[in-house]
Structure 1
Amino acid sequence: MSYRSGHQSEFRQPHDSSRQQLARQPANPSPATHEENSYTLVHAGKQVRVGPVVFWIVVGTVTALGMWSAATATYFAFRDDVLTRLIARQAEMQYAYEDRIAELRAKVDRATSRQLLDQEQFDQKLEQVMRRQTTLESRAAAIGGMSDVTGSIRSPSRGAAAADPAPSATPKPSPISDTAVFVAPPDREARLESRAPVLSLAPVTKAAKIQGVDNVIVRLQNSLDQVERRQLSSLTSLEDSLESRARRMRGVFTDLGLDVGQLEAATPRAGMGGPYVPVKLSGDAGAFERQLYRINISRAQVDRLNRTLALVPYRKPVIGEVEFTSGFGVRSDPFLGRPAMHTGLDFRAAMGDPVRVTANGKVASSGWAGGYGRMVEIDHGNGLSTRYGHLSEINVKVGDVVKIGQVIGAVGSTGRSTGPHLHYETRIDGEAVDPQKFLRAGVRLSAG
Structure 2
Amino acid sequence: MSYRSGHCDDHQHAHNHGRQSARQGIGQAPAASRHAQGRDVQNSGYTLVHAGKQVRFGPVAFWIVIGTVTLLGMWSAATATYFAFRDDVLTRLIAHQAEMQYAYEDRIAELRAKVDRTTSRQLLDQEQFDQKLDQVMRRQSVLESRTTALGAVPDLQTTGSIRAPSRGGAASDSAASVVPKPSPISDTAVFVAPPDREARLESRAPVAIHPPASRLAKNQGVDNIIVRLQNSLDQIEGRQLAALNSLEDRMESRMRRMRSVFTDLGLDMTQLQAATPRAAMGGPFVPVKLGADAGPFERQLYRINLTRAQIDRLNRTLVLVPYRKPVIGEIEFTSGFGVRSDPFLGRPAMHTGLDFRAATGDPVRATANGKVVSSGWSGGYGRLVEIDHGNGLSTRYGHLSDINVKVGDFVRIGQVIGTVGSTGRSTGPHLHYETRIDGDAVDPQKFLRAGVRLSAG
| Superposed pair shares fold, TM > 0.5 | yes
Task: Say whether 1:188 aligns with 2:197.
Answer: no
On the 8 A contact 1:366/1:398 being kept in 2, the answer is yes
* Alpha-carbon distance, 1:219 to partner: 1.9
Alignment-derived partner of residue 101 in structure 1: 108
Distance 1:17 1:295 in 2: 158
Q: Which amino acid in 2 is paired with 1:319? A: I
Unaligned runs of 5+ in 1: 24-32, 152-165
Alignment-derived partner of residue 119 in structure 2: 112
Task: Say whether 1:70 aligns with 2:77.
Answer: yes
Distance 1:76 1:169, change over 3 A: closer
* Alpha-carbon distance, 1:318 to partner: 0.9
Task: Say whether 1:123 aligns with 2:130.
Answer: yes
On the 8 A contact 1:202/1:219 being kept in 2, the answer is no
Root mean square deviation of aligned Cα: 3.2
Distance 2:206 2:245 in 1: 26
Task: Say whether 1:228 aligns with 2:237.
Answer: yes
* Alpha-carbon distance, 1:172 to partner: 4.0
* Alpha-carbon distance, 1:323 to partner: 1.3
Q: Which amino acid in 1 is paired with 2:229? A: L
Q: Please state whether the residue corresponding to 2:441 is helix, strand or coil.
A: strand
* Alpha-carbon distance, 1:309 to partner: 0.8
Task: Say whether 1:361 aligns with 2:355.
Answer: no
On the 8 A contact 1:364/1:377 being kept in 2, the answer is yes
Q: Which amino acid in 2 is paired with 1:175? A: S
On the 8 A contact 1:393/1:412 being kept in 2, the answer is yes
On the 8 A contact 1:365/1:397 being kept in 2, the answer is yes
Q: Please state whether the residue corresponding to 2:291 is helix, strand or coil.
A: coil
Q: Please state whether the residue corresponding to 2:253 is helix, strand or coil.
A: helix
On the 8 A contact 1:141/1:191 being kept in 2, the answer is no
Q: Please state whether the residue corresponding to 2:434 is helix, strand or coil.
A: strand
Q: Which has the larger radius of gyration?
A: 2
Equivalent position to 1:57, from 64, 67, 72: 64
Distance 2:211 2:202 in 1: 13
Distance 1:221 1:19 in 2: 128
* Alpha-carbon distance, 1:358 to partner: 0.7
Unaligned runs of 5+ in 2: 11-32, 159-164, 189-200
Alignment-derived partner of residue 135 in structure 1: 142
Distance 1:72 1:436 in 2: 138
* Alpha-carbon distance, 1:51 to partner: 4.9
On the 8 A contact 1:143/1:191 being kept in 2, the answer is no
Distance 1:46 1:306, change over 3 A: same
Q: In the comparison of the two structures, how many residue pairs are matched?
A: 413
Identical aligned residues as a percent: 74
Aligned ranges for residues 209-288 of structure 1 at < 5 Å? 209=218, 211-288=220-297
Q: Please state whether the residue corresponding to 1:444 is helix, strand or coil.
A: helix
Task: Say whether 1:91 aligns with 2:93.
Answer: no
Distance 1:191 1:66, change over 3 A: same
* Alpha-carbon distance, 1:439 to partner: 0.7
1:356-378 deviation digits (Å, cap 9, x = unpaired): 11111122221222222211111
Equivalent position to 1:334, from 335, 343, 347: 343
Alignment-derived partner of residue 156 in structure 1: none
1:371-396 deviation digits (Å, cap 9, x = unpaired): 22211111212221111111111111
Distance 1:18 1:273 in 2: 171
Distance 1:17 1:264, change over 3 A: farther
Alignment-derived partner of residue 413 in structure 2: 404
Alignment-derived partner of residue 28 in structure 1: none
